[in-house]
């Protein structure tokens, strides 16, 4: 992060109001290598841990021989379940917005039981990572095998797990007579839609560096989306005193939800530091990144009943997703289509089936990216069953109220998304029949879909400190895993105070900063941004009160309505030449700094009375080589209604990222398991195909104007996840339009197109 600027105010300094496309304030630090990530903090006495993982999916460790590893020069210890230090019982309830699922959370090296393939069973600690890795290869482990099941299809046939909800999960609410209305409908669509497991694969692997001090205090640099979560976890699981642990995460190289829960490298690094009373770093390998949470596989059945003009009579939807054998992980799968479209009759059901893998976890737009994308393929099928344009079908079923809870929205500019997106894309030129558009040997397809996501906000505290030189710091414990949180905080502080960007420093990712929920759910801009604005407004109010009580102050007779804040000065609105600089006020008041702390909270009553969502309309063009089945996305137009857009530049980048995620979901990304050994096999970036530059087309993002004074104090909804919701479906629908082949199994790979 930049040091606070001490330069004098100049007219050409950067102004950044709401809606300004400000470049990232942390950009220079990232591109020059000054930004440090969790595995880049070092000290002379640092030890390195390498994880040894289980090769079976279920059973017990009968014997683990560490002798050969310990004989390697430079090896300090090999920690297993047999010699680990004492650990405490881990409470289930988390003191944050993100809680673990109901069940028994996994802890590495707790005992001899093996509950999934890839489970960490030993940590080799050495003077270098290379030595630790080599020594790990010398461990001899004898297993007792047990029967296991990693195939979701088999698991769901054997019966579902009991529906024990995760914290914050609500069972889908049905309405009317879904089955009866479906049976009576003249047009019926029935399909089972399938999504393969996906893994997050951020650029930065999970890493934790623990610095041990002689007095027993520890400082942890952790890859996490919430330092408060990591702090709570380490203290609860390993028995550290809360006031002796500090967790920092100044930069995060992507996470996409995988960092919402502490991962096992944090536990192992803390365990090793505690046992050895030394500083220790543990970094996962890319292969080990496939050994923790993932987007779960899903089978979703959708039955749509409609009149011949396409108006919905019935929505019947049920889903089953995977969870682990030890935790009940659940998402919101079947609600999305039923809340989006006008329909009096809906029957919704959702179950989970236990398999012997690690627990799935939140992955960009969890539940929505799965459930809405699969549902929108069914909506496209209904459009063809009725002989209606897919966009027209959605307009005919447009809902003015949220359908599941029968609430009005705080705002919903979805109709404008349809109109502006279709106009920009040129949708009116689309021919309806499949295989009717081509260019030489390539079939061309145009598809579209609706996106919907939650617009959430959580209680957040921010500290604002104005120093004697007129520089401002705003700080909270949230993270920045890539969306531009540093920039957002800086920009809101600048817009609120009138200070130029160069005079403002944003601080985050530190447990010594005020409370903030984990970064995720697209709620950070609304939550942290509202708290930044509130803290800055409170600071300005206190500063003005001090100014007008100073002897000889030109503002002494003024009231709040008479003044403005600009360029580090408090001035009279009707005569801006009259005023005082912020630093002059502090000096005259004999103060080195002025500090305030404020918390912003969502309006609970409003949350109960109205629905809060972001919406989008996505239009996609694909081309398919008819001879070899090679498909490519050639154009995307994504029209998004997300309330107030603070920074169009970084917001657009978030939508681009979501669309790229959707290309992977639709065409390339799937984690394949060999169910004979119970292990994910393509656990590397050579065989797990994340979209690369050549796969990403022109992506045109439209931010539809939407004013919302109720969704959050600053009118922001958040854009981190809406870009993926609906986009994968639009690609699948475009592929049907191009080829005439309706594929209900994502991703749609070449073999499926050629079959």
**pLDDT tens per residue, range 173-215:** 999 999 999 999 999 999 999 999 999 999 999 999 999 999 9
pTM attached to this predicted model: 0.95
Q: How far apart are CA 739 and CA 754, in angstroms?
A: 10
Is residue 78 included in any domain, yes or no? no
pLDDT of 5 strictly over 80: no
Residue 735 confidence (pLDDT): 98
| Spatial separation of the C-alpha atoms in residues 425 and 419, rounded to whole Å | 10
Which range (45-49, 90-94, 390-394, 399-403) has the least confidence?
90-94
Q: 706-728: per-residue pLDDT in tens?
A: 999 999 999 999 999 999 999 99
One domain, residues 633 and 748:
yes
**Residues in Cβ contact with 97 at an 8 Å cutoff, skipping those fewer than 6 apart:** 458, 517, 518, 521, 523
Residue 158 lies in a domain: no
Q: Is residue 490 part of a domain?
A: yes
Give the CATH number of the domain where residue 573 resides: 3.30.365.10
What DSSP state is assigned to residue 214?
Answer: T
> Of 559, 583, 601, which residue is a domain's last?
601
- pLDDT at residue 103, rounded to an integer: 82
Q: Are residues 627 and 593 in the same domain?
A: no
Beta-sheet strands, E only, within 626-715: 631-641, 673-674, 679-680, 698-703
pLDDT confidence tier of residue 4, bands split at 50, 70 and 90: very low
Domain count, the chain: 2
DSSP per-residue codes, 566-608: ETTEEEETTEEEEEEEHHHHHHHTT-SEEEEEEEE---HHHHH
Q: Are 584 and 555 in contact (CB under 8 A)?
A: no
Closest CA to 591 of 554, 543, 526: 543
Q: Are residues 500 and 576 in the same domain?
A: yes
Question: Does residue 448 sit in the same domain as residue 421?
Answer: yes
Distance CA 207, CA 348 (A): 40
Strands (E), 174-284: 187-195, 207-212, 218-222, 245-248, 280-283
Whether residues 592 and 719 fall in one domain: no
What integer pLDDT is reported at residue 160 of this predicted model? Answer: 64
**Does pLDDT of 544 surpass 80?**
yes
Beta bridge partners of 304: 189, 315
Same domain? 472 vs 590: yes
- Domain span including residue 620: 367-456+608-754
Residue where a domain terminates, one of 557, 572, 601: 601
Q: Which two tokens stand for residue 42?
A: 């070092």
CA dihedral 39, 41, 487, 712 (to 10 degrees): 70
- Token pair for residue 129? 């990572």
pLDDT tens by residue, 235-245? 989 999 999 99
Q: What is the DSSP string of 100-147?
A: PPEE----TTSSSEE-STT-EEEEEEESSHHHHHHHHTT-EEEEEE--
Q: Roughly what angle, to the nearest 10 degrees, separates helices 368-386 and 727-739?
A: 30
Question: What DSSP designation does 373 have?
Answer: H
DSSP character at residue 261: S
Verify that 475 and 597 share a domain, yes or no.
yes
Verify whether residue 512 is a known catalytic residue. Answer: no
Dist. CA 411–CA 151, nearest whole Å: 42
Name the maximum alpha-carbon separation found in the chain: 85
Q: How many CB atoms lie within 10 A of CB 237?
A: 21
pLDDT in tens, 327-365: 999 999 999 999 999 999 999 999 999 999 999 999 999
Among 1-10, 532-541, 634-643, 716-725, the range scoring the smallest mean pLDDT is 1-10
The pLDDT of 565-592, averaged and rounded, is: 93
Q: Are 385 and 478 within one domain?
A: no
Of 90-104, 182-196, 415-429, 632-646, which range is least confident? Answer: 90-104
List phi, psi (to 5°) of 265. -65, -30
Burial 136-163 (b: 16+ CB within 10 A, else e): bebbebebeeeebbbbbeebbeeeebee
Tell me the mean pLDDT in the region 443-447: 98
Residue 621, pLDDT above cutoff 70:
yes
Residue 222 within a domain: no
687 located within any domain: yes
Q: Based on the domain organization, do 519 and 418 belong to the same domain?
A: no
- Name every residue whose Cβ is closer than 8 Å to that of residue 51 and which is 6 or more positions away in sequence: 120, 122, 123, 136, 264, 265, 268, 282, 284, 285, 288
62 in a structural domain:
no
Note the pLDDT tens digit of each residue in 141-155: 999 999 999 999 999
> Are residues 572 and 632 both part of a single domain?
no
pLDDT greater than 80 at residue 496: yes
What percentage of the chain's residues is helix, strand, coil (to nearest 5)? 30, 25, 45
Asked whether residue 432 is assigned to any structural domain, the reply reads yes
Is residue 13 pLDDT above 70, yes or no? Answer: no
Q: How confident is the model at residue 9 (pLDDT cuts 50, 70, 90)?
A: very low
pLDDT at 603: 78
What is the secondary structure of 528-567 as a DSSP string?
Answer: HHHHHHHHHHHHHHHHHHHHHTSTT-TTTT--GGGEEEET
Share of the chain above pLDDT 90, in %: 88
Instruction: Average the pLDDT over 722-738 and give the result.
Output: 98
- Is the domain of 436 the same as that of 480? no
d(CA 355, CA 362): 17
CA–CA separation, 359 and 327 (whole Å)? 6
- Domain's final residue, options 601, 623, 645: 601
Q: How far apart are CA 44 and CA 28, in angstroms?
A: 28
Q: Which tens digits make up the pLDDT trace of 671-689?
A: 999 999 999 999 999 999 9
What string of DSSP letters covers 726-739? THHHHHHHHHHHHH
The H or E element that residue 493 is part of is helix 485-497
**Tens of pLDDT, residues 686-708:** 999 999 999 999 999 999 999 99
Average pLDDT in the 377-399 region?
98
| 181: helix, strand or coil | helix
Query: What is the chain's mean pLDDT, rounded?
Result: 94
pLDDT for 415 beyond 50: yes
| Cα distances (Å, whole numbers) of residue 270 to 208, 240, 265, 386 | 8, 9, 8, 60
Region 462-487 average pLDDT: 97
Do both 447 and 470 map to the same domain? no
């Amino acid at each position: 992060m930049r040091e606070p600027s001490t330069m004098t105010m100049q007219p050409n300094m950067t102004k950044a109001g709401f809606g300004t496309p400000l470049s990232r304030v942390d950009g220079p630090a990232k591109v020059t290598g000054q930004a440090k990530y969790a595995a880049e903090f070092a000290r002379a006495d640092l030890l390195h841990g390498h994880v040894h993982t289980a090769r079976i999916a279920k059973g017990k460790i009968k014997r683990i021989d560490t002798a050969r590893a310990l004989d390697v020069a430079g090896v300090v210890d090999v920690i297993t379940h047999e010699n680990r230090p004492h650990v405490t019982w881990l409470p289930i309830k988390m003191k944050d917005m993100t809680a673990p699922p109901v069940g028994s959370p996994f802890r590495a090296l707790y005992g001899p039981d093996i509950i999934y393939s890839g489970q960490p069973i030993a940590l080799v600690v050495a003077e270098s990572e290379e030595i630790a890795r080599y020594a790990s290869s010398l461990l001899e482990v004898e297993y007792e095998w047990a029967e296991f099941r990693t195939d979701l299809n088999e698991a769901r046939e054997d019966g579902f797990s009991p529906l024990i909800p995760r914290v914050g999960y609500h069972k889908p609410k049905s309405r009317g007579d879904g089955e009866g209305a479906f049976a009576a409908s003249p047009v019926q669509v029935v399909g089972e839609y399938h999504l393969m497991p996906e893994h997050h694969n951020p650029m930065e692997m999970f890493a934790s560096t623990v610095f041990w001090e002689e007095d027993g205090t520890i400082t942890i640099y952790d890859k996490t989306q919430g330092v408060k979560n990591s702090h709570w976890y380490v203290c609860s699981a390993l028995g550290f005193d809360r006031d002796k642990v500090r967790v920092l995460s100044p930069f995060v190289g992507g996470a996409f939800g995988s960092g919402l829960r502490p991962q096992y490298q944090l536990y192992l690094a803390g365990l090793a530091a505690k046992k050895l009373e030394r500083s220790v770093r543990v970094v996962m390998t890319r292969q080990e990144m496939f050994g923790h949470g993932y987007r779960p596989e899903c089978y979703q059945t959708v039955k749509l009943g409609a009149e011949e003009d396409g108006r919905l009579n019935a929505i019947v939807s049920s889903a089953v997703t995977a969870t682990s054998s030890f935790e009940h992980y659940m998402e919101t799968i079947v609600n999305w289509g039923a809340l989006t479209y006008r329909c009096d009759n809906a029957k919704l059901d959702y179950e989970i089936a236990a398999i012997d893998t690690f627990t799935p976890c939140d992955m960009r737009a969890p539940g929505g990216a799965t459930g809405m994308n699969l549902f929108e393929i069914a909506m496209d099928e209904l459009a063809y069953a009725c002989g209606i344009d897919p966009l027209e079908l959605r307009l005919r079923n447009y809902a003015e109220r949220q359908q599941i809870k029968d609430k009005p929205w705080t705002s919903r500019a979805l109709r404008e998304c349809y109109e502006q997106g279709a106009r920009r894309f040129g949708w009116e030129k689309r021919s309806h029949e499949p295989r009717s558009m081509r260019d030489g040997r390539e079939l061309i397809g145009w598809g579209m879909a609706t996106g919907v996501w939650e617009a959430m906000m959580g209680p957040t505290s921010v500290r604002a400190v104005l120093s004697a030189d007129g520089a401002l710091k705003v700080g909270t414990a949230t993270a920045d895993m890539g969306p531009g949180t540093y920039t957002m905080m800086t920009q809101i502080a600048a817009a609120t105070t009138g200070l130029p960007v160069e005079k403002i420093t944003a601080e985050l990712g530190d447990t010594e900063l005020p409370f903030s929920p984990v970064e995720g759910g697209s709620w950070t801009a609304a939550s942290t941004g509202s708290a930044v604005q509130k803290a800055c407004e409170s600071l300005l109010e206190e500063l003005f009160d001090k100014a007008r009580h100073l002897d000889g102050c030109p503002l002494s007779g003024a009231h709040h309505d008479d003044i403005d804040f600009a360029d580090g000065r408090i001035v009279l609105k009707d005569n801006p030449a009259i005023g005082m600089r912020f630093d002059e006020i502090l000096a005259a008041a004999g103060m080195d700094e002025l500090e305030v702390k404020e918390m912003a909270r969502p309006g609970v009553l409003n949350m109960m009375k109205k629905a809060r969502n972001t919406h989008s309309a996505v239009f996609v063009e694909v081309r398919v080589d008819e001879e070899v089945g090679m498909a490519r996305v050639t154009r995307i137009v994504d029209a998004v209604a997300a309330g107030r857009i603070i920074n169009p530049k970084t917001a657009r980048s978030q939508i681009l990222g979501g669309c790229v995620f959707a290309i992977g979901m639709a065409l390339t990304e799937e984690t394949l398991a060999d169910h004979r050994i119970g292990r994910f096999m393509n656990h590397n970036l050579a065989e797990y195909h994340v979209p690369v530059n050549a796969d990403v087309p022109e992506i045109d993002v439209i931010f539809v104007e939407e004013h919302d004074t109720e969704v959050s104090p600053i009118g922001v909804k958040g854009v981190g996840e809406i870009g993926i919701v609906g986009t994968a479906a639009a690609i699948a629908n475009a592929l049907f339009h191009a080829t005439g082949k309706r594929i209900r199994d994502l991703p749609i790979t070449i073999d499926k197109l050629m079959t």
